[in-house]
Amino acid sequence: MAKKRPQTKAKQPQLKDGEIPVVGAREPCPCGSGRRYKACHGRAAAHAATELVHRPFEGLAGEGDWVALRELVPAATVELKLKESLPEGVPSVTLATVLPMAWPALRREDGSVLLGLQNDTPSGDISRDLADTLRRALVAPPGTPVEGRRAPADGPRLQDLLDPEGAFEPVVHSGFEFWVPDAENAAPEVTASLERANAAAIPTVKLSGVDAAYWCETPEKNHLRWVMPHAEEQLLDALARLHAEGRSSLGEGTRLVGSFRAHGLTVPVWDLPSGVTADDVEKPAAEFAERLATALAMDAPLTADERRARGGLTNRQVTLS
């Protein structure tokens, strides 16, 4: 029986993952190893694509607002401040809920950068995907969009690029005129596109008295959706205590109806009568925040009524992401 010839491994060039282009899973890996991509550098990429980061915005200023702008708010922008100074020729970086044509990012003619938030991302870490898009947008030619791609598995995240001390102050818009520098004098096709987008946008207002709470108007009733940073189980217990006591509403005709789960945070939702505006719920929301703080500090076991209230809230919980 002939001896098996000892296998030799080709010497691999010392390339970083970020330098390896993405190819078909069965094609030879571009690093020169002689193996298929899926068995070589594709392993790290596949792992990055499937590993879900449950709180991708944790550690960023305004985590609740990041979640709201990603999932709940149609049209909003935020000026972002980077840890390092902006490259020459880039006067500003602005986060936007949505960009034209669902572009991941856009480098405008004046060099400024718009980064889209409500885009599908190829991996389980939205923060890493957005950081990769932002880095490419900073060096893109002015006047060009930035296409989506799979971020390198060892690439930076937003937490690595953004100034942790920078304020995160969303500006909610009634429409998408921020897409173009001069919406009033835009070309007819651009105007038509804006009109279609604006028609689909739900009127939304950010409350000023509490963090990450957004009023919105729908044809049948209005709502308040409030992204809260507390641990889910603790928050549900506190909401159940208030609900069982009849103190979970925001005034006459309002009702706590359930909650969303989104990016690791819980978002309680209240139904409001159609006539109740954002200004109308500013004071009730601030008063509710005080009641909630007291309930969150309680550690006694839930009573039977409170357990029933908790069960009802849990049954009306919807996971967005």
What pLDDT does 38 receive?
58
Tell me the C-alpha distance between 84 and 87, whole Å. 9
Interval 277-302: pLDDT, tens: 999 999 999 999 999 999 999 999 99
What pLDDT does 306 receive?
98
Please, is 176 exposed, middle or buried when counting C-beta atoms within 10 Å of its C-beta (0-12, 13-18, 19+)? buried
What pLDDT does 13 receive?
40
Tell me the C-alpha distance between 261 and 220, whole Å. 23
What pLDDT does 310 receive?
97
What pLDDT does 9 receive?
41
Interval 36-86: pLDDT, tens: 755 776 665 555 455 789 999 999 999 999 999 999 999 999 999 999 999
**Global model pTM greater than 0.75:** yes
If you ran DSSP here, which 8-state letter would residue 228 be given? Answer: B
Averaged pLDDT of the chain: 88
What pLDDT does 285 receive?
98
What pLDDT does 278 receive?
98
Q: Which residues of the chain have pLDDT under 70?
A: 1-27, 30, 37-38, 41-50
**Angle (CA) 66 71 72, round 5°:** 95
